[in-house]
Amino acid sequence: MENRLENMEMTNSEIEEVAAGFGLVGSAIGAAISGYSAYHSGASFGSIAGATIFGGVSGFFGGVASVAGSRFATGMFGSYSVGTGFGASLFG
């Protein structure tokens, strides 16, 4: 019996199952890093909350950009990620 690997294309539902977690994981990482950075710099509670929110949004879009299917979508979500990441840096 021969063991062969075959190339198969993923269905849309399989792609959605695999890609669904990246935005959430990126959001958690972005929020944690931005919030900690603002806290460590001695920012006020409001600034820490703002940095945490913006960092979470930035991480979410970065995660989505990493699994986006087309160059346009990757560029669009990547731009959102960079923009909101810059916004998070203004809170600290």
How many CB atoms within 10 Å of residue 45? 9
Q: What is the pTM of this model?
A: 0.70
Would you call 7 helix, strand, or coil by DSSP?
Answer: coil
- Domain with 71 in it: 19-89
Dump pLDDT digits (tens) for 7-48. 777 777 776 666 656 778 888 988 999 999 999 999 999 999
Residue 2 lies in a domain: no
How many CB atoms within 10 Å of residue 90? 10
Dump pLDDT digits (tens) for 44-63. 999 999 999 999 999 888 88
Residue 78 lies in a domain: yes
Residue 59 lies in a domain: yes
Residue 11 lies in a domain: no
Q: How many domains does the chain have?
A: 1
